[in-house]
C-alpha cells in the first residue's frame, strides 16, 4: 500500500458553531484565518500573544486549520491554543443559553497528514479509514485538493500507530512531530473509550458496515442532498519563482516546494495570490451556503466551495472548476463524537455496491456534527439510490 502517514505537530480542537450564531463568531473566524492578527488586541482584550502564536510555523502559517460552513453548521478545527485564546473568550461572553449551543469538543486531537498517491480515488477514503475503524478508533476525515487529513483523539496515539502499522502503512515517525501523550483535557474528556462498553470492535469490514447502518437507522440518520447545491474543489494559486502552480493531488509537489531554500526563506503569504485571502474573507463575511477552507503547513490553501462563489475569486484559484461535485449529507447531531466506523462504513458500502473503478471519484468531509460524502453528480444520484433503501429496509425490519 503506497501511502505515507505522518503526525502534524501540536494538539487540535474541534468546535461546532450553530448557524444562527455565526455572525457572533465572524471576527474570531477571520482572526484565525489570517495569522498576522495574532499581534492585535481586538476589543481591548489582554490575550497573550505567546499562547496565540502556538501552532504556527516560523512563517506564521498554520500547521493545520479547517473552517467549514455548511447548511448544517459552522465547524472549525484549529490548534488548541487558538481555540483557548480566540474562540473561548467569545463563548464566555455570550448569554448562557447561546454559549451552551456552541460545542468545544473536550477531546484533544492529533492530525494525521496522508500522502496516498498509490491509492486510487475510489478506494482511498475506505483504505485509510478501515484500519482505524476496525481498531475501534473514532476519526474525523477531511479530503483536500492535495492531501487527506485524519483527526484522531490524542489519547489513541499508540493504538493509531499499531493499527496503521499492522495494515502495512508506512509511518513517518519523526519524533518531533508526535503529540505529547498528556493533552489539555484528556482527564476530563466526555469519552473514556472508542467503543461502547462491552462492545468489541468489528472483526471485518462487512460487520463494520452492518453496524454502521444499524446505528444510522437507530439514530434516524438518513442521507440527503441539498437541492441545487453543487461544489467544486480548488486550490489557491501559488506564486513561485517560475510562476507555476501546484497540480492536483500531487504526491511529491508539496514536499519538493517545502524543502526548497526559497520556500524556507519566504513567508507563506508571499507565496499565495493575495486576492485569494481577500476573496475568502469576503465569502466568510457573506455566510455562504457551503465553503470549506483548509490550510496546512506544506500545502497551498485548499477550498471546497459552492460553485456560485467562483466569481468572487477571479484568477486566484487553480483546479478543474468544470468538475461539479454533489455533497451527500449525514446529519450526525444525535451521535456521540466517539462513535467509530461511520466514514469507513458508508464509503465501504458505496465502493462495494457501485463497483467503483480507479477513475471513480469519492471524497469525504467530516465536520463537527456531520459527515459529507462528495461525488460527481452522476455518482451521487446512484449513491443515494443505494443508501436510502438500506435504511428504509432496516426501518421495516
Domains detected in the chain:
1-35+54-182+202-241+267-392 (3.30.2130.10)
pLDDT digits (tens, 9 = 90+) for 257-269: 334 344 444 555 6
Can you give the pLDDT at residue 128?
87
Can you give the pLDDT at residue 182?
34
3-state class of 311 per DSSP? helix
d(CA 366, CA 142): 6
pLDDT, mean of residues 128-133: 92
When the pLDDT of each residue in the chain is averaged and rounded to a whole number, the result is 80
pLDDT, mean of residues 217-234: 93
231 has pLDDT over 60: yes
Can you give the pLDDT at residue 116?
67
pLDDT digits (tens, 9 = 90+) for 365-382: 999 999 999 999 889 999
Q: Which residues contact 291 (CB under 8 A, 6 or more apart)?
A: 67, 68, 69, 283, 284, 303, 304, 305, 306, 309
* Higher local confidence (pLDDT), 253 or 162: 162
Can you give the pLDDT at residue 98?
97
d(CA 127, CA 1): 9
**Percent of the chain residues topping a pLDDT of 90:** 51
d(CA 68, CA 366): 9
Can you give the pLDDT at residue 230?
97
Can you give the pLDDT at residue 118?
56
Can you give the pLDDT at residue 132?
94
d(CA 375, CA 362): 5
Contact 29, 284 (CB under 8 A): yes
pTM confidence score: 0.85
pLDDT digits (tens, 9 = 90+) for 47-92: 444 444 577 776 677 889 999 999 999 999 999 999 999 999 999 9
To the nearest 10 degrees (0 to 180), the angle between helices 121-134 and 157-166 is: 120
| Burial group, residue 58, by CB count within 10 angstroms (0-12, 13-18, 19+) | exposed
d(CA 31, CA 273): 19
Residue 169 pLDDT level (bands cut at 50, 70, 90): confident
335 has pLDDT over 70: yes
Amino acid at each position: 500500500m503506497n501511502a505515507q502517514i505522518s503526525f502534524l505537530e501540536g494538539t487540535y480542537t474541534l468546535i461546532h458553531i450553530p448557524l444562527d450564531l455565526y455572525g457572533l463568531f465572524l471576527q474570531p473566524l477571520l482572526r484565525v484565518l489570517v495569522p498576522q492578527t495574532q499581534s492585535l488586541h481586538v476589543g481591548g482584550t489582554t490575550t497573550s500573544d505567546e499562547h496565540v502564536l502556538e501552532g504556527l510555523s516560523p512563517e506564521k502559517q498554520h500547521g493545520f486549520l479547517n473552517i467549514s460552513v455548511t447548511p448544517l453548521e459552522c465547524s472549525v478545527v484549529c490548534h488548541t491554543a487558538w481555540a483557548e485564546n480566540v474562540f473561548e473568550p467569545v463563548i464566555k461572553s455570550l448569554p448562557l443559553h447561546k454559549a451552551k449551543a456552541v460545542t468545544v469538543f473536550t477531546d484533544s486531537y492529533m492530525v494525521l497528514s496522508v500522502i496516498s498517491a498509490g491509492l486510487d480515488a475510489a478506494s482511498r477514503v475506505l483504505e485509510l479509514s478501515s484500519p482505524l475503524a476496525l481498531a475501534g478508533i473514532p476519526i474525523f476525515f477531511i479530503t483536500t485538493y492535495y492531501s487527506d487529513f485524519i483527526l484522531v483523539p490524542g489519547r489513541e496515539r499508540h493504538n493509531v500507530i499499531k493499527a496503521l502499522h499492522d495494515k502495512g502503512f508506512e509511518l513517518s515517525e519523526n519524533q518531533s512531530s508526535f503529540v505529547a501523550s498528556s493533552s489539555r483535557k484528556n482527564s476530563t474528556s466526555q469519552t473514556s473509550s472508542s467503543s461502547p462498553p462491552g462492545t468489541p470492535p468489528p472483526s471485518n469490514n462487512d460487520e463494520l458496515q452492518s453496524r454502521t447502518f444499524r446505528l444510522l437507522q437507530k439514530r434516524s440518520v438518513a442521507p440527503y442532498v441539498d437541492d441545487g447545491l453543487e461544489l467544486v474543489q480548488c486550490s489557491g494559486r501559488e506564486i513561485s519563482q517560475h510562476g507555476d502552480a501546484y497540480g492536483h493531488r500531487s504526491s511529491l509537489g508539496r514536499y519538493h516546494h517545502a524543502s526548497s531554500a526559497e520556500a524556507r526563506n519566504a513567508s507563506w503569504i508571499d507565496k499565495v495570490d493575495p486576492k485569494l485571502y481577500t476573496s475568502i474573507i469576503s465569502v466568510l463575511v457573506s455566510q455562504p451556503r457551503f465553503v470549506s477552507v483548509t490550510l496546512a503547513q506544506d500545502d497551498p490553501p485548499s477550498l471546497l466551495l459552492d460553485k456560485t462563489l467562483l466569481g468572487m475569486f477571479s484568477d486566484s484559484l487553480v483546479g478543474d472548476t468544470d468538475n461539479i461535485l454533489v455533497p451527500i449529507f449525514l446529519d450526525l447531531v444525535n451521535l456521540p463524537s466517539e462513535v467509530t466506523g461511520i466514514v469507513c462504513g458508508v464509503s465501504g458500502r458505496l465502493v462495494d455496491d457501485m463497483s467503483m473503478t480507479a477513475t471513480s471519484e469519492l471524497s469525504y468531509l467530516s465536520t463537527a456534527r456531520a459527515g459529507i460524502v462528495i461525488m460527481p453528480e452522476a455518482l451521487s444520484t446512484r449513491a443515494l439510490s443505494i443508501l436510502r433503501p438500506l435504511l428504509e429496509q432496516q426501518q421495516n425490519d
